[in-house]
Structure 1
């Protein structure tokens, strides 16, 4: 069976993050030299954000490539097809005209092999991957309220002073994600991290605050 694009990406991600780990190990070994220590920590932060910024686009493209390699249009989520249609619909089109065109495209191509275009799924103006941008991209794939589902889940351990527990969950998720995306269709079940379904009014989560601060700190390092 053929390895999926997204599974190959995970191998590349590990190599990227190993680079950050090497900088952090050097920082640890140079704690007595304050200037060296701070320089290495800043470098590690900038590199980590740089990898993060490219990562969401790479993952989105990999998912699209896996769908194109394995599916016909009628087999994908309607939300994904709807996003794909955005490539063919002019921004000035009325809602009614847009819906008519989407229905015609569906009728014409639903039995054909997927040829999704990545452009409408991504922001192409090189903005930082803020939580709002990530949520919007996920919605284009039919996934809603992602950060709300993390709030209160097992993954909240990252905000606690429990390193052993955090590493245990990280390793479990890494092993599971690799295994469940090795072939298509993926067999990922998000219940592995006990996501929380919320129906009340959405409020900003610790995850969103963390990412915003994470990006802001990189900006402060570069621009002073």
Structure 2
């Protein structure tokens, strides 16, 4: 994608990306779970502790679902702000076209022809993306397969395979100090990376890369954790 790295208003001041603003507000939205976890630590009554644990899990799932929706919306706002329709990866273009196509077709042939026409016309019109075709069905829990489906709509394939054996796996080593250090580093890194567009992110910094071979679902700590 090609674009200016930032926009300016009349007095020349730089305007942050929508992703930058989203990251700044993100931490506050998870504070409720931190409060519940602290209360769980203080409880000596096993029944009360179990109730609080179940509440924390339900809230965590709700926040993860909300995060996926808001992250997708934020990315689309930046794409619309800084790119033309023809700049978008072909997968993103096709995902947007699905909003106007019936899922019931004659082995896909008719829709493929219509999709080609839509892509041509949307490029001419410089159509703006909407978030609806990129997300999962309403009230569907953000399972690993749903998360992968959403990211695939944005042209990101095999997401959990990318995370497998990366530096982010430290969170499963039960080392609180190393996990906190990683979180602090990751937050600072992302804040700097998305302050302008295109985002300046190097996945190799965290050993996030495409691996050869097939990743079995049970071999991914991320998939097992989210499923459980």
User: Normalising by the residue count of structure 2, what TM-score does the alignment of the two structures yield?
Assistant: 0.85
Relative to structure 2, which stretch is displaced further, 55-64 or 114-123? 114-123
1:82 and 2:123 are equivalent in the alignment: no
1:93 and 2:105 are equivalent in the alignment: yes
Tell me, in whole angstroms, the C-alpha distance in 2 between the residues paired with 1:126 and 1:47.
Answer: 14
Q: 1:179 aligns with which of 192, 205, 214?
A: 192
Tell me, in whole angstroms, the C-alpha distance in 2 between the residues paired with 1:104 and 1:129.
Answer: 33
Alignment-derived partner of residue 218 in structure 1: none
Aligned-pair distance for 1:111?
4.5
Which ranges in structure 2 are unaligned for 5 or more consecutive residues? 1-13
Alignment-derived partner of residue 7 in structure 1: 20
Aligned-pair distance for 1:174?
1.0
Alignment-derived partner of residue 222 in structure 1: none
Q: 2:44 aligns with which of 32, 36, 42?
A: 32
Relative to structure 2, which stretch is displaced further, 153-162 or 86-95? 86-95
Give the RMSD, CA atoms, in angstroms: 1.9
Cα deviation digits, residues 139-184 of structure 1 (max 9, x gap): 1100001101111111111111322222211111111111111222
Write out the 4+ residue segments of structure 1 that deviate beyond 4 Å after TM superposition.
Answer: none
Q: 1:72 aligns with which of 69, 72, 84?
A: 84
Tell me, in whole angstroms, the C-alpha distance in 2 between the residues paired with 1:32 and 1:89.
Answer: 56
Is the CA contact 1:64–1:118 (under 8 Å) kept in the aligned structure 2?
Answer: yes
Cα deviation digits, residues 48-106 of structure 1 (max 9, x gap): 22211211111111111111122111111111001111011111234232222222222
Alignment of 1:29-178 (within 5 A): 30-94=42-106, 95-178=108-191
User: Normalising by the residue count of structure 1, what TM-score does the alignment of the two structures yield?
Assistant: 0.86
